A and B are shown apart, each in its own frame.
Chain A
Amino acid sequence: MELADVPAQPVKKRNRMKLDAKIPEGPIQEKWSRYRNKLKLVNPSNKRKFRVIVVGSGLAGASAAATMSELGYAVDCFCFQDSPRRAHSIAAQGGINAAKNYPGDGDSIYRLFYDTVKGGDFRSREANVHRLAEVSGLIIDQCVAQGVPFAREYGGLLDNRSFGGAQVSRTFYARGQTGQQLLIGAYSALSRQVASGNVRMFTRMEMLDVVVVDGRASGIVTRNLVTGEVESHAADAVVLATGGYANVFFLSTNAMGCNVTAAYRAYKKGAGFANPCFTQIHPTCIPVAGDHQSKLTLMSESLRNDGRVWVPQQVGDTRPPNEIPDAERDYFLERKYPSFGNLTPRDVASRSAKEVCDEGRGVGKTGLGVYLDFRDATARMGRDTVAAKYGNLFDMYQRITDENPYQVPMRIFPAPHYTMGGLWVDYNLMSTVEGLFVIGEANFSDHGANRLGASALMQGLADGYFILPATIGNYFAQLGISHQTVSPDHAEFKQAEQGCTTRLNRLLNASGNRTVDSFHKELGRIMWENCGMSRNAEGLEKALQQIPELREEFWKNVKVMGAGEELNLSLEKAGRVADFLEFGELMCRDALTRNESCGGHFREEYQTPEGEAVRDDEQYCHSAVWEYTGDDAVPIRNEEQLEFEYVELALRSYK
């Protein structure tokens, strides 16, 4: 394997943070069950003495809040939407993985574990991934028991489909609305607990800070988005389930409100941020149509089950797609990766699409698109079957593009979609701050450098239904029942409130003349160009210069209308963009110091002559965990070494 000849960036190894992953002893198949048996328990009648704050009501947050409440803990749950049912998880389309092996095609816990570790390009923690695979089946049982209407076969049993990066059918789905149905399930469980009085639900509330007292997370500070009030909430533990940060790119498939604020503020309070540069660019999104665009729409990966991806063989072939004969089409995924074909993992598929567009063979007005064609599928299965499987996706495509995908192939292009990076957590899902737990997309745990399709829903629900409710009990048991909840009048709370108010006022008083969105768009452009689908040192260094400049201009020249004590959408947006403007820099720093290509992190300097990613296991078989050291100081890069005992560290090939 040849490498492009570039000098490596020096990497400073300065582990200051204590990064004990607390992986239990024993063979991997037994770690979780043995560990669970040894976890300390809280007596049922004492559980209600412990209050836990859950920030977020997506799959992770809602499932955790409901389950902890069922166990007897007192729970306060927060979200910024007007109802917990509207969390971004609702938008997930394609499905959820589970190693049930109902189709009998050879699936097993081991295989799901193996596929996930390999899919993540060997940058995740084996023990966590194995546990995820172990509980995956229980999730399906739980959801079905709640009445979630998964797709069924004529015999009445559950149906499965296949997804990228796997050669078995292990994906459970509910038409193209799996996230919606799972979230409504979790929301209904949560609603039942709210009705019981054990969960207090706070909607239209944005968390602005975590409060740490004597080294332990003791509560949060929020802004009431209707009245503008800044308030403190105290608890014995805080759980962040606040989702991902793909909106750092401005245009992404995420909902408009998705943000990094909660995670980033926690980072500033001492929680290590792991692998921020590991972001996923999803191959099948509707291409950008114009400047007015506010977000990108995903077309579920499940479409790649039956759709074939191609571009014209010739540069400059502008014939309508249906007039281009097969011999003059390049089905580039099938050509390059014959055994996985159109079902190669996302990072590989996205990069291949970018490559053909870079060669000038892209399609559509902008040349930034490739075809996803259902002609052959329609001939094989008939239009009705295609419609039954993908009808709602086809309708959505037509509504947005005004083109009929039953007649002309869809045009797709990669777009930012998911973030594998997140707050570092140990095996208990606890961050580097005692008592601060992080679940769902907000943590970094299970997907390494690339997430496989249908495994985010699995992870969010595994964390929320099955893992956190067990491990948090151990934390409470250690605190002991004589533990006193810190008062929300404690000086640390007052100080945090003051800090939030000052910052809000600074935004309101910055009487500049540029809108918040214009800054967000500019940041997005910098990130997409330099820290997007492929990265190089030169671009990243440029971005590291541009972002602080943009940030400085933001604070001088941003214009936020309205007042603080009212519903103020510009103020909400401004606060989130201000955090993205700091966080973007951390992402670039992380990308620059990881001198290898792995998963979604493709550094142009590290590739084979054929353009495949080249990992460097000698130097980078670790998670990079960033430690905040002050607003004007360079953060410290700590490392958690990753050991691979059960899956052989191998070149990740989908050929």
Chain B
Amino acid sequence: MHFTLKIWRQENADVAGGIQTYEVDDISGDTSFLEMLDILNDQLESDGGLPVAFDHDCREGICGTCSLMINGTPHGPETTTTCQLHMRSFQDGDTIFIEPWRAAAFPVVRDLVVDRSAFDRIIRAGGFVSIDTGSAQDANNTPIPKDDADYAFDAATCIGCGACVAACKNASAMLFVSAKVSHLAHVPQGDAERRGRVLSMVDTMDAEGFGSCTNYTDCEAACPKAISTDHIAVLNREFIRAKIGRTT
């Protein structure tokens, strides 16, 4: 297959970027999207050009490193990560636009690479259970109803990729934050710090410059792990509960 690629190139955070056009040929449908970019980079390097910088690591859809707006959609047309997207999802001759995540809280580092460290700072604000190593009781002393455990699990599968932010008109991080809050709100281990956690994580989210949530649910559609906006409802409930708790 042949593709025309329109790719965002930007040398670093301090200079302006722009779209450049490239052609790739002889791409089989079994090639993954990132392997297609590998082929392009090989081509660019062989011709003495600079390869396109993009983030990736596991290429199995689990580390959350890969990103990319593909034709305006985070991770492209399928419900999966960019690394698990294959070229068979496109038509021979297609023109494909490839851009970085766009959000004030995710500044571009180079080309398609952005800085998502704001997510780490949100987790540091409370996305944990305060338990020192070695002080835990026997694991089976705390049975957890299977339904709760499964629900917590669904939230815990968030890979921290940032597609939800990239998809949102307001660049809100609500889905990401709600996934962690909801995970820990559905296991008893999270109970003790429940109030402080949600307040502190939401405060940090705001301080990092993410927008507010106005219920477009584009995040859910873009999420490669199908994290449901139900978790945002959980977050809102937790938040209100915590606020009330704080003022009484």
Contact = CB atoms under 8 A, between A and B. Distances in A.
A194 B204 CA distance: 15
B35 A146 contact: no
Contacts of A201: 120
A468 B137 CA distance: 21
Interface string B18-46: 00000000011111101110110010111
For chain B, what secondary structure do more than half of its interface residues adopt (helix, strand, loop), or is it mixed? Answer: loop
A378 to B, nearest CB: 22
B136 A399 contact: no
Question: 4 closest A-B pairs (Cβ-Cβ)?
Answer: A156-B143, A188-B128, A145-B136, A141-B136
Candidate in A147, A158, A289, A466 with the most chain B CB atoms within 10 angstroms: A147
A226 interface: yes
Contact of B139 (A84, A158, A257): A158
A138 interface: yes
A438 B16 CA distance: 43
Interface in B42-98: 42, 44-46, 48-51, 53, 55-65, 78, 80, 84, 86, 88
A86 B65 contact: yes
Contacts of A330: none
Interface stretch (A172-180, A346-354, A355-363): A172-180
Contact of A149 (B61, B64, B135, B156): B156
A192 B136 contact: no
10 contacts: A83-B117, A146-B131, A147-B190, A149-B152, A150-B139, A188-B128, A188-B129, A191-B124, A194-B124, A566-B110
A503 interface: no
A486 interface: no
A85 B12 contact: no
Interface string A76-111: 000001111110101100000000101000000000
Interface in A511-540: 513, 515, 517
B230 interface: no
A108 to B, nearest CB: 16
B90 to A, nearest CB: 14
A157 B160 CA distance: 28
A465 B133 CA distance: 6
A156 B146 contact: yes
Contacts of A154: 146
Contacts of B248: none
Contacts of B34: 294
A102 B65 contact: no
Contacts of B30: 289-290, 292, 402
Interface of B: 11-12, 27-32, 34-36, 38-39, 42, 44-46, 48-51, 53, 55-65, 78, 80, 84, 86, 88, 109-110, 113, 115-117, 119-120, 123-125, 127-140, 142-146, 149, 152-153, 156-157, 159-160, 183-184, 187, 189-190
Contacts of B190: 147
A164 interface: no
Contact of B187 (A90, A102, A149, A293): A149
Contacts of A153: 146
A566 B146 CA distance: 49
Contacts of A292: 27-28, 30-31, 35-36, 38-39
Contacts of B62: 90-91, 177, 179-180
Given A141-B137, A184-B156, A294-B34, A152 B146 contact: yes
Interface in A133-153: 138, 140-147, 149-153
A591 B243 CA distance: 64
B128 A192 contact: yes
B146 A191 contact: no
Contacts of A189: 128, 131, 133
Contacts of A158: 139-140
B38 A86 contact: no
A153 to B, nearest CB: 7
A66 interface: yes
B57 A145 contact: no
A344 interface: no
A327 interface: no
B142 A82 contact: no
A469 interface: yes
B129 A147 contact: yes
Contacts of B31: 290, 292
B55 A147 contact: no
Given A149-B153, A195-B124, A400 B84 contact: yes
Given A256-B56, A567-B110, A290 B28 contact: yes
Contact of B42 (A82, A152, A517): A517
Contact of A82 (B60, B117, B152, B157): B117
B184 A147 contact: yes
Contacts of B136: 138, 141-142, 144-145
B247 to A, nearest CB: 25
A91 B63 contact: yes
Candidate in A138, A140, A145, A203 with the most chain B CB atoms within 10 angstroms: A145
A566 B12 contact: yes
Given A147-B189, A294-B35, A561-B48, A67 B133 contact: yes
B88 A88 contact: no
Interface in A386-410: 396, 399-400, 402
Contacts of A396: 60-61, 84
Interface string A185-205: 001110110110000010100
Contacts of A184: 156
A100 B139 contact: yes
B209 to A, nearest CB: 18
Contact of B134 (A138, A177, A559): A138
A52 to B, nearest CB: 15
A165 B39 CA distance: 40
A342 interface: no
A295 interface: yes
Contacts of B86: 399-400, 402
A557 interface: no
B65 A82 contact: yes
Contacts of B140: 100, 102, 157-158
A399 B133 contact: no
Given A91-B60, A513-B46, A149 B124 contact: no
